[in-house]
Amino acid sequence: MQPRIPRQSTTEHGANRVDNDARLTAELAAVVAGARRRALRDGDRQIDTAHLLHTLLESDPEVRAVFEGEGPQVARLLGYLVQRSIGYGLRWQSSVEDSGALPVLPGAAASAGWSPVAAGALEEACERAGRRGDTHARGVDLLAAIVGDPESRAVEVLGRGGVDAQELLARLRQAEATALAWEEYVWGVDGG
> Mind listing the domains of the chain with CATH numbers?
12-191 (1.10.1780.10)
Q: What confidence score (pLDDT) does residue 108 get?
A: 35
- The pTM (predicted TM-score) of the whole model is 0.75
CB of 78 within 8 A of CB of 29? no
Range 97-117 burial, b when 16+ CB lie within 10 A, else e: bbbeebeebeebbbebbbbbb
Per-residue pLDDT of the chain (192 residues; tens, 9 = 90+): 443 333 333 333 334 445 557 889 999 999 999 999 988 887 777 899 999 999 999 999 989 888 865 568 888 888 888 877 665 554 554 455 655 444 444 443 433 489 999 999 999 999 999 988 889 999 999 999 999 999 899 999 899 888 999 999 998 888 787 776 766 666 665 554
Residues 6+ positions from 98 with CB-CB distance below 8 Å: 104, 115, 116, 117
pLDDT at residue 80, rounded to an integer? 81
